[in-house]
Amino acid sequence: MDEFELIHRITPRSLFHREIEIGIGDDAAVYESKKGYQEIVCVDTMVDGVHFLSSHSTPADIGYKALAVNISDIAAMGGIPKFYLVSIAVPSGWRETDIEAMYEEMNKLAKLYQMDVIGGDTVSTHGQMVITVTVIGEVEKGKACLRSHARPGDIVFVTGELGSSAAGLSFLLGEQSAEDDRLVEHFIERHKRPVPRVKAGLICSRYQSVALNDISDGLASELNEIAEASRVSIDIYQDLIPRSSDLHKLRSEWEEWVLFGGEDFELVGTISSDQWERFDQECTSCGVPVYKIGRVSRSGEANVFYYRGQDRILLEKKGYNHFRQDR
């Protein structure tokens, strides 16, 4: 394929944000910063065979998820996503129409959040497909939702069902089967096309000292990161964690998916107990799902405890690790 012709075709003809001075077409993009706001920048790399399976996903699916997981990181800071850049290493087996389909799906998702693409790079590779997406967002100064904000007495919450993405991956890999096609499609959709919780993150940014993480590596891992950054212990309860009512039908070890499966890209966070009721009501009125799953119990040693009935289990910081397969 012709790299420059591809760049010409994916260059947007209009922009959402007037502060862009120079977009695609020069050595680098230039845009003005808004007074009273702070910029948020995140980047994720996805590799075929590690983060996605091109044999089980369409180019559109891959493009969607590559952008969605970065938007989720912006949401976890309480920010608004604005710009993105895409770098891809394309193996010889990929066709030009595949690349166009990937970019087109990213463009569709970006329009939902009024994001502009402002640059990137395209190269060839003799290895697997690699796609790297950088997203730039903004948050009001001093309003970012940091992992270090959790305090004893805070309510612990999540924004949606957990374990479904891991179940979907299990179906894709042929490890799981079910007679109900709609059930299978639901779990696979949760894996391939997670919904970034931008609206939930924006609501969180309006409250004082909210800690947030997006669930990429698993609930246990994300809560341990909050516990470590805030130097607190966290208690969560099995019967409060939202999950599909069909999850337990798939395998007896469904808790592994919920706690350690990862890639749900829901938000998990903490908020002070005196703000919880108002926060819950605002989320409900905005159509944002939110579920109370536990409390921050005390300061000091960083731990996460999982209560299953009368049993208390220490949750280790494990989940998906690209250099240590421990799940």
Residues 61-107 have pLDDT tens digits of: 999 999 999 999 999 999 999 999 999 999 988 998 999 999 999 99
pLDDT per residue as tens digits for the range 214-240: 999 999 999 999 999 999 999 999 999
Query: Cα separation of 300 and 206, whole Å?
Result: 27
CATH superfamily entry for domain 3-140: PurM-like, N-terminal domain (3.30.1330.10)
Banded model confidence at residue 24, pLDDT cuts 50, 70, 90 = low
The alpha carbon dihedral of 13, 15, 20, 21 has a sign of: positive
Backbone phi, psi, residue 102, to 5°? -65, -50
DSSP structural state of residue 258: I
Q: What is the CA radius of gyration of the chain?
A: 20
Flag whether 103 is marked binding.
yes
Q: Which CATH class is domain 147-314?
A: alpha beta
Is 121 one of the annotated binding-site residues? yes
Identify whether the C-beta of residue 207 lies closer than 8 Å to the C-beta of residue 183: no
Q: What is the pLDDT of residue 178?
A: 84
Residue 214 is labelled as binding a ligand? yes
- 280 in a labelled binding site: no
Identical topology for domains 3-140 and 147-314: no
Please state, in angstroms and as integers, the Cα–Cα distance from residue 99 to each residue in 47, 86, 127, 298, following that order: 15, 12, 16, 50
64 annotated ligand-binding residue: no
Q: Which residues are CB-neighbours of 52 under 8 A, at least 6 positions away?
A: 46, 61, 62, 65
Please tell me whether 51 is known to bind a ligand.
yes
264 is in an annotated binding site: no
What are the boundaries of each domain within the chain? 3-140, 147-314
Q: Is 120 annotated as a binding residue?
A: yes
Where does residue 235 rank: exposed (0-12), middle (13-18), buried (19+ CB within 10 A)? middle
Across the chain, mean pLDDT equals 91
* pLDDT at residue 117 is higher than 90: yes
Instruction: Please state, in angstroms and rounded to a whole number, the distance separating the CA atoms of residues 75 and 79.
Output: 5
Tell me how far apart the terminal alpha carbons of the chain are, to the nearest angstrom: 39
